[in-house]
Amino acid sequence: MLALTLPLVLASASPRRRELLHQLGLPFSCVVSGADEHIPPCAPEEMVRRLAKAKAFAALPLLKKPSLVIGADTIVVQDGEILGKPADEADAKAMLSRLQGRTHTVLTGVCVLNSESGDYLVDYERTEVTFAEMTGEDIDAYVATGEPMDKAGAYGIQGRCAVHISGISGCYFNVVGLPLHKLSTMLKHFAKPGKEQST
């Protein structure tokens, strides 16, 4: 297990990111920064990097002590268009109709910030996700569960939509919302020299 130089803080309200971060076996606390997510138009890869950095830095006023802050942002991209969280059920159905039977890209930006020194790393992970074909009845039934409404692209791969996912290429955890291998690699930059232990 990594021996970090400072306490770890996750700048996110996402229960899925909290569950994933627990898998690293590191103690952490959470803050919700309320970062401004409106940024100038740019490539999707750059967008998730900027948003992850914005979320990490927005958490600084909320910290009670020097910490390592994790900011993350996940988006779904289809045909070059970013699909965010659906506005309503009709929007969710429209998104799922676009995704079904096709392959799309999921990008998650990750930023790790040392609040004491200002040192930070920012990167992103990419995963390709393929949906099986879904009937209109399939889409209606899934949307009726309410699960799509707070998720980018209107689906959760770890939930009831799992039966409609025919394959992925890349990091599964990235699609859930936090690429664990990428994050653990970034955290090593902030570990105490010679203090890493095997789990």
Catalytic residues: 73
68-78 and 81-83: which strand pairing? antiparallel
- Residue 143's CB is within 10 A of a number of other CB atoms, namely 22
Name the one residue in this structure whose structure tokens are 């289809």.
78
Write out the DSSP string of 137-168.
HHHHHHHHTSGGGGSGGG--TTTGGGGGEEEE
- Whether the Cβ atoms of residue 127 and residue 105 lie closer than 8 Å to each other: yes
Alpha carbon separation from 160 to 137, 146, 154 (Å, rounded):
15, 10, 12
d(CA 37, CA 60): 16
Backbone dihedral angles phi then psi of residue 73, each to the nearest 5 degrees: -145, 135
Two tokens at 160?
């009831």
Q: Are 136 and 94 in contact (CB under 8 A)?
A: no
At 23, the amino acid letter reads Q
